[in-house]
Structure 1
Amino acid sequence: MSSFTLPATMKVVRQLDPHSTTLTMEEAPLPKPLHPEDCLVQVHTTSPCVGELHWQVWFPSIVPADSPRVPGTEAAGVVVQIPDGDAAQTSNFKVGDRVFFRVEPEQTGHLRQYSLARLSQMAHVPSTMGWIEAGSTALSSLTAWQGVFQHGILDSRAIFGDAAARKNNGRLSVLITGASGVVGGWAVHLAALAGAGRIVALCDSSNIAYVEGLGATEAVDYKKESVAEWVAKDRTTREVDAVFDCVGGKTLGTCWSAVREGGVLLSITGDPEQEKPSSFTRSLATAKWFLVEANGQQLQSISDLISKGGKCVTKVDSVLDFADFQQAFDKVEARKANGKVVIKVADF
């Protein structure tokens, strides 16, 4: 159903060669729903994700060869068409709603004027949030939510008033690497909102005040000492129940030394087992790499927190026009962005 007058065609950016990061803009028909929950959304903003132009080559089981490679897995926009049927009737979305979302990698991305997202993947944009933040928040905040709660050790019910959950969280300690980054900052903030007993943030000295403002109880300057060196000074008091790694490489390797027996080690950058020191002999409950999943219900919880005055906002490095799409992706691919690069697909 739609009350909008829709054009026949739209501008869309495609990755024609999965082995090349060169993108091409062309004119194409508006997308047609492929799933019973598909909503048509007029895209206002989207944000590149580092590495996504390589996913089809790196992860062929996740991004099949026949996937239509339009980049941009997260976006924000206005619903212009919703499906008929029971799913739409029982949802709280309607035409005209401001929404943001993250879809799965095998779905078509959102670097186009109109795109598709499923009812179960969307959430309402908080009234306090503009389009720039909305188009760059879903991916980082969902990744943090799932790392802290879904795969992690903290109970999200504590955020919403569950006293028993908050009491239990208060007994637990977590260490977050890359704590001043877009995902790490969200993780610190969510852990603090959930009442974690200790939140150790790994960052550099220039960001200590920032992470403490988000709720970190301690900060470690990685430029002065590694996690292993920091823990070794007082293992009894410095070991943690869980580590959420947002950096990878050598940093992930040193995180093994910080997790106590039976603890949890999670990473969003790679398999912790590949960075495991040969000297490590303790047994962990979990040591794994996880990929974020699209989840509208979790994103709506995040939206509700933002509406209530949450401290954390996604860091934005820069905002570029739709025509500058290649520049935006080049900057992200070169890892020269301090925060998210946002592409304005529509004028607002």
Structure 2
Amino acid sequence: MASLPSKMRGIIQPNANSKDLSLTTLPTPTINPSLGEHLIQVKACAPCAGELLWPKNFPPPSPRELIPCPDVAGVIISGPTDSPFQAGDEVFARTNYTRPGNARDLTVGVTGELAHKPKALSWVAAAAVPVSAETAWQILFIHAGIAAEAEVDFETAKEAWKGKRVLVTAASGGVGMWVVQLAALLGAEVVGTCGAANVALVKALGAKEVLDYRSTNIREWAEDPAKKVDVVIDCIGRQSLEDAWWAVRNGGVVLSIFQPPKQVCPAEYKGTGVKDVFFVMEPVRRHLESIAKLIELGSCRGMVDSVWPLEQYEEAFKRMDGGHARVT
């Protein structure tokens, strides 16, 4: 292995109370192979909406450098000798929040969160997948409570989801588009909400019905009992989540990745037996490897909004802050 430079480029957030970023020179990270750590040459990384607020609102359990961009695609430089990921392997991952992110030339990933990059994907396309796809996977296979358990296989999950009606808010967004695709593959009947410009896209991803959130009143739409859904999957929170409560049938599930659903349950809502779920995804290798297989089969796809060099990080984060972009 060629000797590594002692310094590298990286983007850093100066402190938890600041949303400012700067491109600077950082020490090259070192790894502890006994902890499953791998050194990775970063080929592409992706930010996550709102992540510059995380250090203030959800402080890391131990102090660390505040380097953004939790999604990464790159090449293994070194790692444990018994690892399934060896030098030269192409990988992608959502790395754990307890460690610095991946907006740097070299980064660290551990065995339990890495997966082999699908050969069909470019570096940029691969970096746009992990957090959104893994979140959708964990919604459908674990937290919605339909497939029952984390280790259930795809065919078993299909039996559980077949014929279920699902409402997905922000269905053209990063997580929403993966929920739509995976839910449709599992045999669910998907209803998605999005803006008028994205209706055709959401239908192409597998939704049976698409609602323009600007012109459709969900409460009025759901007055027809036949419109009610078994599961609401909310990807945006606030008013969207409040409105979505009207769509779930008695005994159903309201799940949000934005906030606990009960926080915005309408005071006049009279439904019964509805389970409410909020969770934060965890990087899991087996989930990402399963998603990679579906990508290789052409069953699912991600999307890239725009691509920026590391030096143009300010423009990239401004676009992300606009609320309608996936930036890599």
Both structures adopt the same fold (TM-score exceeding 0.5): yes
Q: Displacement, 1:169?
A: 1.8
Counterpart Cα distance in 2 of 1:307 and 1:97: 17
Q: Displacement, 1:266?
A: 0.8
2:282 alignment counterpart: 293
Secondary structure, counterpart of 2:307 in structure 1? strand
Please say if 1:223 is aligned against 2:237.
no
2:93 alignment counterpart: 101
AA paired with 1:331? R
**Matching residue within 64, 68, 83 for 1:67:** 64
Larger RCO: 1 or 2 (CA < 8 Å, sep 6+) = 1
Q: C-alpha offsets along residues 267-297 of structure 1, whole Å, 9 cap, x if unaligned?
A: 1111211111011232345212211111111
Counterpart Cα distance in 2 of 1:138 and 1:215: 20
AA paired with 1:44? K
Counterpart Cα distance in 2 of 1:74 and 1:110: 7
Counterpart Cα distance in 2 of 1:285 and 1:9: 53
Q: Displacement, 1:49?
A: 1.0
Counterpart Cα distance in 2 of 1:54 and 1:252: 21
Secondary structure, counterpart of 2:200 in structure 1? helix
Q: Displacement, 1:205?
A: 3.0
Residue correspondence of structure 1 range 167-178 to structure 2 within 5 A: 167-178=159-170
**Matching residue within 102, 124, 132 for 1:110:** 102
Please say if 1:132 is aligned against 2:114.
no
| Contact 1:226–1:251 (8 Å) recurs in 2 | no
| Contact 2:141–2:157 (8 Å) recurs in 1 | no
AA paired with 1:227? I
2:10 alignment counterpart: 12
| Contact 1:227–1:255 (8 Å) recurs in 2 | yes
2:57 alignment counterpart: 58
Q: C-alpha offsets along residues 77-124 of structure 1, whole Å, 9 cap, x if unaligned?
A: 00001124xxxx2x4211111101012222111111000010110111
1:318 alignment counterpart: 306
Q: Displacement, 1:246?
A: 0.8
Residue correspondence of structure 1 range 125-204 to structure 2 within 5 A: 125-155=117-147, 160=154, 162=155, 165-196=157-188, 198-204=189-195
**Matching residue within 302, 318, 321 for 1:330:** 318
Q: C-alpha offsets along residues 215-254 of structure 1, whole Å, 9 cap, x if unaligned?
A: 111222212212212101x12x111111100121111001
RMSD, aligned CA: 1.9
Larger mean CA deviation between 114-123 and 34-43 belongs to: 34-43
Q: C-alpha offsets along residues 172-210 of structure 1, whole Å, 9 cap, x if unaligned?
A: 1111011111211110000011111x1111123332221
1:346 alignment counterpart: none
| Contact 1:154–1:191 (8 Å) recurs in 2 | no
1:339 alignment counterpart: 325
Q: Displacement, 1:20?
A: 1.4
| Contact 2:133–2:178 (8 Å) recurs in 1 | yes
Secondary structure, counterpart of 1:318 in structure 2? coil
Segments of structure 1 that go 5 or more residues without pairing to the other structure are 343-348
2:46 alignment counterpart: 47
1:81 alignment counterpart: 78
**Matching residue within 260, 266, 269 for 2:255:** 266
Counterpart Cα distance in 2 of 1:112 and 1:128: 24
TM superposition score normalised by structure 2: 0.93
Runs of 4+ deviating beyond 3 Å? 153-160
Q: 1:167–1:296: structure 2 CA closer, same or farther, 3 Å change rule?
A: closer
Counterpart Cα distance in 1 of 2:141 and 2:268: 29
Q: Displacement, 1:158?
A: 8.9
AA paired with 1:330? K
| Contact 1:319–1:341 (8 Å) recurs in 2 | yes
Q: 1:4–1:241: structure 2 CA closer, same or farther, 3 Å change rule?
A: farther
| Contact 2:182–2:300 (8 Å) recurs in 1 | no
AA paired with 1:95? A
Secondary structure, counterpart of 1:128 in structure 2? coil
Secondary structure, counterpart of 1:341 in structure 2? coil
